Amino acid sequence: MSDDLIDFGYERVAPRDKARRVAAVFDSVADKYDLMNDLMSFGIHRSWKRFALSLCGVRAGHTVLDLAGGTGDLAIALARRVGGSGRVVLADINAPMLEEGRHRVIDSGVMGRVSFVRADAENLPFAGDSFDRICIAFGLRNVTDKERALRSMFDVLRPGGSLSILEFSKVHGGALRTAYDFYSFKALPALGRLVANDADSYRYLAESIRMHPDQETLKVMMASAGFERCDYYNLSGGVVALHRGYKL
């Protein structure tokens, strides 16, 4: 990526500044991340992740990359599916988030199936054709160069494997969008201030969702990176979408 300005929420910043500022956001919220997810989604994020798991096709013996895996809730569920003969790599660029994930995995009883790697999605430190499945939940919108990250994911995926992207997307329906905007820009920062003592990070969250590619645009981006049979499912009226693509 060139040094042209890019989006950090509604601001325009240099790419290196976006990476630094995104890191600061997650440094700030790491210890309250899971609690805030429950509060701000009213617990619905758990249903979204269950739906993603039901369609990702993970089986016993698979090697799975949970990218931008944060505090480890998806990695734990994946580890239970791959069984003793499989492996899950929980990767995240943010050290405090990865540490939170490590503690949670240790407490879950699946520690022997999960390894931890601090990794940049744009430059994944794995050999080509390493993973049967790649899952990334609520992480892609924070990546500086999304096209480069998608190409990196494609490279480390084995032929026959699939990528699943669970991410906030474009809401359908005028009334729902109006209510969602009010909640995002008024309630979320207030909740962040109250619970995590950080309104700005949750204001960035709301803005970053609006700047993220919509459903059809992300589908095209995945195809451009080499993925085939790309499709998506809207959840909660498009508040979230699950995209899938295959390396054939």
CATH, residue 86? 3.40.50.150
Q: Is residue 43 part of a domain?
A: yes
- Helix, coil or strand: residue 246: strand
Kindly give the confidence (pLDDT) of every residue in the chain, 248 residues in length, as a single tens digit, with 9 standing for 90 and above. 445 889 999 999 998 889 899 888 888 888 878 888 888 899 999 999 999 999 999 999 999 999 999 889 999 999 999 999 999 999 999 999 999 999 999 999 899 999 999 999 999 999 999 999 999 999 999 999 999 999 999 999 999 999 999 999 999 888 899 999 999 999 888 988 888 888 888 899 899 999 999 999 999 999 999 999 999 999 999 999 999 999 99
- Give the C-alpha separation, 54 to 45, whole Å: 14
Q: Is residue 197 part of a domain?
A: yes
Q: Taking the model in full, what pTM does it have?
A: 0.92
Q: Is residue 129 part of a domain?
A: yes
**What's the domain count of the chain?**
1
Q: Is residue 175 part of a domain?
A: yes
Q: Is residue 1 part of a domain?
A: no
Domain limits for position 21: 6-246
User: Which string of b and e fits 193-228 if b means at least 16 CB within 10 Å?
Assistant: eeebebeebbbbbbbbbbebbebeebbebbeebbbe
